[in-house]
Structure 1
Amino acid sequence: MLKRLNSVRYAFIRSHFYGMFLTVLILMSVLLGLYVLREPSWLSQGAIFFFVGLFIVVSGLVSIYVGFQSSGGIKENLDGMTTMIRALAQGSYTAKIYLNTDDEFEHIAEELNELAGKLQSQVKSLQRMADEKSEFAKTAHKAATIEERQRLARDLHDAVSQQLFALTMMAQATERLFDQDPERAKAQLGEITTMSLQAQTEMRALLLHLRPVHLSGESLHEGIRTLIHELKEKCQIEFSVELDDTIDLSDGAEEHLFRIVQEALSNILRHAEASDVHISLKGMSDQVFLHIRDNGKGFHVNQDKKTSYGLKTMQERTDEIGGTFALRSKPGEGTYIDIRIPIQEAVVDE
């Protein structure tokens, strides 16, 4: 009820009543002044109150009628503009409003129509950009797939393929030496065993890269546990894992961290010759800490970091999600990787 009394129509009626009230005050002041100063015979106290009362009644009725009539057009124009704004809010940008009032309302209606046209153009632009982005994403995915295949092909050629060729040559030579020099043949068999184990480790590292980049609906800690479980079944490395299940990161950040863990484990399998690997993922305050260490042979960071594709990839992925990447290693002392990722607070729409 109070909301209805605050409408435009009742505001017009109230404004007429305010005018009537001021008119009554002025009229009473004039009549009382005449009565006091001149005291005409026709002007008595009863006549004054009768005239003023009659004026109030007639003016009140006229104010109500005129208020309703004069506010009808304004209310109709406002209702039309309200309907137009509601349509725009609901995404109907083709809606239009036309007023033939030749006043401010017509100007506002023209501005609303122009706004609707601009919103419609922006929606078309956004949809076109979304289509272009989708096509770009497909192209980028194809390019990334080709690049990854080329890298795997190079790795297979440079490492596994050459090792298998060497194994074949040594096996043929050992077969010829078996009857002539058994001791030498036995030593070569040991070398063949070592090389085959190295080739097997190299192949496992390459297969690790063939895992899906995406977590496929799993959380980060679930994906890491699954990855470690698979590696435990295939290699003789002891894994110790500490994962915080309560960490809440964006999907993009989780994908990057998962890929970083993959890359780190691949490097460990291929180069570290480690027997123990520790992975820790913890959330503290407004940051996530990822720590990976191994007890492998280590390397000179300043020399090997510049030429390591895997380390460069981990650094780039960390930078993409606003984190910091720290690497420590020395020959004979293993390798330590520390990554810090800031946790972005969710934006709540009001």
Structure 2
Amino acid sequence: MSYNQLKWFILLIPTITVGAWEYIRHEYLLPYISMDLGNWLTPVIVLFVTFTLLTRFFSKLEQMQEELRIERAKKAVLEEREKIAEELHDGLAQSLFLLSIKVRQLDKIEVSEENEELFGRLRENIHDIHDYVRLGINNLKTPIEDPDVSWKDRLQQLIHEFETDSGMEIERVIEVEESLLKTKEQSELLACLHESFVNIQKHAEASVVNIQIKISPDKKYLMIKDNGRGFTEADLNKSGSFGLKMMVQRCQRINWNMDFKRENGETIVTLSRR
């Protein structure tokens, strides 16, 4: 039933009810009930019909209005996100791109070995910052997540995208009870997993990736293993290690821990509930 049909039903039903009652009363019930009793019964019948029929229509109308309000709110948020993304692209992203070009021009200048290492780290940092800005822009342009799509489906989609981009097949064991994760936890864990994939693809030089995810009343953890060259505690403190620092901060925001270790030539990153 459409919105306009609901409005017409709400407007016409009380009128039709009164008309039908008056017709029946005068044509068939006049010998049995008095005028005063009939007059008293009229509002009672209208009230009964209103509660039995119109309350359902009102509930449906309120539901449609709420859905419309949510849709408008999503549209407004998406428009604002796109506006911010455009400002980032036209401002910060372009400036970083130009800065990277300027830094490349320094390659033509003869400098000491110490300064050459400094320029190398500067180029790498600018490149990483540029990648994260582009990632932020893409995330801002991405439509708001559909509540009908489960977290596990979004997880599988993220894994599939990594496999497509990297050409590697991920070994996975996923056992998830989504109701045990808050919405914030779901969002931050997906972001951490995405960041792990970026690090593996860009820096680890891995050929095998394994993921284990367990969300149950007894255990809540997400573990990523790869056979790449790994990273150390000192890497977290490097000025260019934005991705690792972001993962630590995301875990802290949802009261999770991030631990990592090297074992049998593998890097193992574990996110677990405190």
Q: If the length of structure 1 is used for normalisation, what is the TM-score? A: 0.43
- Determine if the alignment matches structure 1 residue 231 to structure 2 residue 143: no
Cα distance in structure 2, aligned partners of 1:134 and 1:327: 34
- Deviations, residues 262-285 of structure 1 (Å, cap 9, x unaligned): 433355578999849875444546
Relative contact order, higher structure (CA 8 A, sep 6+):
2
Q: Quote the Cα distance in structure 1 between the aligned partners of 2:59 and 2:247.
A: 37
User: Structure 1 218/123 Cα, relative in aligned 2: closer, same or farther at 3 Å?
Assistant: closer
User: Take 1:266 and 1:152, find their aligned partners in 2: how far apart are those partners?
Assistant: 20
| Identity over aligned pairs, percent | 9
Please list the CA deviations of residues 49-72 of structure 1 after superposition, one character each: whole Å capped at 9, or x if unmatched.
Answer: xxxxxxxxxxxxxxxxxxxxxxxx
Q: CA deviation at 1:290?
A: 5.8
The within-5 A match list for 1:156-305 is 160-175=93-108, 177=109, 181=110, 190-191=120-121, 194-195=124-125, 197-199=127-129, 201-202=131-132, 205-206=135-136, 209=139, 210-214=141-145, 220-234=151-165, 241-244=172-175, 259-266=187-194, 268=196, 275=204, 280-282=212-214, 284=216, 289=220, 291=222, 297=235
Aligned-partner residue type, residue 49 of structure 2: A
Q: Tell me how far apart the structure 1 counterparts of residues 167 and 112 of structure 2 sit (CA, whole Å).
A: 29
Going from structure 1 to structure 2, the CA distance change for 1:216 and 1:236 (only over 3 Å counts) comes to: same
Give CA deviations for 1:14-67 in whole Å, capped at 9, x if unaligned. Answer: xxxxxxxxxxxxxxxxxxxxxxxxxxxxxxxxxxxxxxxxxxxxxxxxxxxxxx
Q: Quick one: distance in 2 between partners of 1:290 and 1:331? A: 13
2: CA distance, partners of 1:153 / 1:336: 35
Contact 2:158/2:194 (CA < 8 Å) preserved in 1?
no
Please tell me whether Structure 1 or Structure 2 has the larger radius of gyration of its CA atoms. Answer: 1
2:135 counterpart letter in structure 1? A
2:192–2:250 CA contact under 8 A, matched in 1? no
- Of 44, 63, 79, the residue aligned with 1:130 is 63
Distance change >3 Å, CA 267–CA 226, structure 1 → 2? closer
1:326 alignment counterpart = 255
Flag the 1:288–1:256 CA change in 2: closer, same or farther, 3 A. farther
- Write the deviation string for residues 228-285 of structure 1: whole angstroms up to 9, x where unpaired: 221244469996632137x576xxx898776444433355578999849875444546
Q: Which moved more, 1:221-230 or 1:329-338?
A: 329-338
Q: Distance in 2 between matches of 1:229 and 1:274?
A: 20
Residues in 1 aligned to 2:53 and 2:65: alpha-carbon distance in whole angstroms: 18
The gaps in structure 1 that reach 5 residues or longer are 1-91, 300-307, 316-324, 341-350
Aligned length: 225
Alpha-carbon spacing, 1:336–1:227, altered in 2? closer, same or farther (3 Å): same
Deviation at 1:170, TM superposition (A): 1.1
Amino acid at match of 2:256: L
Closer, same or farther: CA 207–133 of 1 in aligned 2, 3 Å = same
Aligned with residue 145 of structure 1, among 54, 78, 81: 78
